[in-house]
Structure 1
Amino acid sequence: MKTCLRDAAVAVAAVSAAVALAACGDADGGSGGGADGLKIGLLLPSSQTSRYEEWDRPLIERRIKELCGACTVLYANAQLDVDRQLQQMNSVISRGADVLILDPVNATSLRSLVNMADQAGVPVVAYDRLAEGRISGYVSFDNEQVGRLQGQDLLKAMGKKADGGQIVMLNGAPTDPNAADFKRGALSVLKGKVKIGKSYDAPGWRPAEAHRSMSDAIAALGADNIDGVYAAGDNLATGAISALKAAKIKPLPPVTGQNADLAAVQRIVVGDQYMSVYKPFRPETDAAAAMAVALGRGEEGMLADIATTTVGNDTTKDVPAVLLTPISLTVDNIEETVVKDGLYTIDQICTPEFRSACDRAGLTG
């Protein structure tokens, strides 16, 4: 124990001290849970996007309990605050986490702590976003395919204007590695087809940022010169559509999205938003839970049965990975996707405000 304390004392930051002490505690028979009582840290980035609290967290916790009845989940949500997530990661490690499931607010800022956790024997499963550092597993969707679906549907919705028309791009947070993948996928479809009049990043994926950027684009390009809007996520579509409506633009140009938020599905029904990208959460959450339990139990060989491919990040090659297939969601396939999968019921979508639009879409009757 003295050696461990000395290692912690000379660590370069308080977070590394917590990691070192956590490792020492496990070595001395401390708070580490062992195969039948693992502590699994679950660190999610935001509650502004509804999926994390409504779907990711409960589904991951449920699957962990199914795989390991005595396991404990140490949960924290960073609310898009990088410093808060650093503190939360530090906290769950110091509380004896055996393994982490991490969806990073900022992959670069967390790299050193990911590496320290790995050195201390606390493996990290990167969830939904590819964390930097020595991760042990990764679960997400094919993010470039997400962007390609958005680009393809935007061109389809633009019709004749898809050949030479002008669009505005509202990309995700520059600190989010997924946002770069979405943009890359979208541009692989859009470049050479349309003119990109304005392109903006949205720090924190905040709707207010998208509203400001869309308002700026309308002022710069003119209300009649925007033929489509690439919004990387449904929360950005929220801001874009509010700005378009504030400028009294009718009809609205087609707007894309992602995550199949309930409000976005309702906007699709009424025609304010053309599409979203539906990413079935259960396969993603199940894979992350299975990876975490296997790693916590020291069963790294089991990852080969879970992973479908490998990926690499800034420091690690051949990371076992599960990359799932996203689905384009439009008014034409709401019933066979989000309703069939139990994400929402018809009653949840078709509230009185949206009843007539649901009737026109064939969702009620």
Structure 2
Amino acid sequence: MNAALRRIITGAMALSLAAPLAACGNSDDDAGAKEEYVGLLLPENKAARYEAFDRRIITSRLSTLCLECKVDYRNAGAQVDIQKRQFQALVKKGVKVIILDPVDAQAAKSWVDEAAKKGVKVVAYDRLAEGDVSAYVSYDNEKIGQLQGKGILAALGSQAASADVVMLNGSPTDPNAPWFKKGAHEVLDDKVHKIVFEKDIPDWSAVEAKKAVNDVIKAHGSTGFDAVYSANDGMADGAAEALKSAGLKNVPLGGQDADLAALRRLVSGAQSFTIYKQVRPEAETAAEIAYRLLRGKSIKSFTPTTADSKSKNGIPAKLFDAQIVTRKNLADTVVSDGAVPADWICTKELTAACKSLGLE
């Protein structure tokens, strides 16, 4: 074989070997570079749980399920227009699954429906968005309201039948708020003397809750009510400030969410109870469902029940239970579960009280 022919054959063999190798190299590069995004839209940052727990748990769980999956996270700061732009930006980006905790469930309908037509799957998280959502992960919110009502009755004790109660309900734009209210009324209406004041508080505002309690004190006097029902801990914070400013002590006050500030109020005695919703199972389930929807897999094992919204029936759902937390069981619930360490709760001012509760 002459040198020229040998060079031709050698070159042809090199090319034939290089072609599949190059193809494999390109495939590997593509696989490594191809990132799949799951959108995560949370409604506001007033409640500590969203940034501290929900975002982190969902992101962590998705990263273990899918190495190439990335979470595109945005917080609306309680602004509907901002969340709408965030949602539409994700759709435009090509995100195929969005976990949505809506600021305003009704307002979200048009965005969700438009996205669904483009094949985008929406997982309604914590609050049930209107429109063509693919799944819903939350709690049994009517039962939570019932727990809150029971918490008020327990705090009132033998005085319940003659008690007048102030009710601070959740935001009118939050689809969970009517369920909390409904559940609480089911328990309280026939067990207390009367609801002396009731108001839906816009945006779950602590400032507005404080103002409402101040208005009640001005209108009815410091002895004109016996307990304050607050639909969440953020508003309970405002209510507690109003009670303190008026020099009122030992007024039963309930909330929801087991916020750090509320847990400290439990220890100090400024708040009677909160509702503990384990965020981890809710957040991890939402992540599992989002991943399965992204991969076109069944979500049946993660959605054992269904939920109905005003615009869609039979939405695959997972609804978790919650529990009442008081001073007495604080150590055995929130702390023992690892949700909030005792040293976060027990400030210097609360050292003695924490010790008496076994929070050391």
Q: With structure 2 as the length reference, what TM-score do the two structures score?
A: 0.89
Opposite residue 309 of structure 2, the aligned amino acid is N
Match of 1:100 in 2: 98
| SS in structure 2 at match of 1:241 | helix
Q: Kindly report which structure 2 residues correspond to 1:41-56, keeping only aligned pairs within 5 A, or say none.
A: 41-56=39-54
Q: SS in structure 2 opposite 1:224?
A: coil
The superposition leaves residues 209-267 of structure 1 with CA deviations (integer Å, 9 ceiling, x where unpaired) of 10011111111121112111000000010000101111111x23110010001110010
Aligned match of 1:141 in 117, 139, 142?
Answer: 139
Letter in 2 for 1:151: G
1:270 aligns with 268
- Offset of residue 341 of structure 1: 1.4
Confirm or deny: 8 A CA contact 2:331 2:357 kept in the other structure: no
Q: Which residue of 2 aligns with 1:80?
A: 78
Q: Distance in 1 between matches of 2:35 and 2:61?
A: 15
Matched, 1:57 2:55: yes
Which letter does structure 2 place at the counterpart of 1:248? G
Whether 2:221 is the aligned partner of 1:241: answer no
Measured on the aligned residues, the alpha-carbon RMSD in Å equals 1.3
CA distance in 2, matches of 1:324, 1:281: 10
1:168 to 163, 166, 169: 166
5 Å matches for 1:188-207? 188-194=186-192, 195-207=194-206
Is 1:288 equivalent to 2:286 in the alignment?
Answer: yes
Task: List alignment gaps of at least 5 residues for structure 1.
Answer: 1-32
Q: Which residue matches 2:312? A: 316
Q: Which residue of 1 aligns with 2:27?
A: none
- 2:300 match: secondary structure: helix
Name the stretch that deviates more: 174-183 or 327-336: 327-336
Amino-acid identity (%): 45
Contact 1:151 1:186 in 2 (8 A): yes
Q: Output one character per residue of 1:278-317: Cα deviation in whole Å (capped at 9) or x when no partner.
A: 0001110011001111111122xx2111112111112221
Spell out, residue by residue over 1:63-118, the C-alpha distance to the aligned partner (whole angstroms, 9 max, x if none).
Answer: 01111110011110000001110111111111111110000000111100000011
Report if the CA contact (8 A) 2:172-2:200 is conserved: yes
Q: Is the 8 A contact 1:244 1:252 kept in 2?
A: no
The 3-state SS of whatever aligns with 1:186 is helix
Paired letter, 1:63: R
Task: Identify the residue that residue 354 of structure 2 maps to in structure 1.
Answer: 358
Is 1:119 the counterpart of 2:117 in the alignment? yes
Quick one: distance in 2 between partners of 1:267 and 1:315? 40
Counterpart amino acid of residue 55 in structure 2:
R
Distance between the aligned counterparts of 1:206 and 1:95, measured in 2? 33
Check conservation: 2:331, 2:358, Cα contact below 8 A.
no
- After TM superposition, the structure 1 = structure 2 runs for residues 16-55 of structure 1, keeping only pairs within 5 Å, are 37-55=35-53
Contact 1:172 1:202 (C-alpha < 8 Å) held by counterparts: yes
Cα shift at 1:38: 2.4
Contact 2:127-2:175 at 8 Å conserved across structures: yes
Aligned length: 328
User: Computing the radius of gyration over CA atoms, which structure comes out larger, 1 or 2?
Assistant: 2
- The Cα of 1:344 is off from its aligned counterpart by 1.5
Distance (whole Å) between structure 1 residues aligned to residue 260 and residue 206 of structure 2: 15
**37-46 vs 180-189, which deviates more?**
37-46
Could you tell me how far apart the structure 2 residues matched to 1:77 and 1:295 are? Answer: 22
* Gap runs ≥5 in structure 2: 1-30
Which residue of the partner structure matches residue 337 of structure 1? 333
User: Deviation string for 1:169-196 (max 9, x for gaps)?
Assistant: 0011011010110000000000022210
Q: TM-score, normalised by structure 1?
A: 0.88
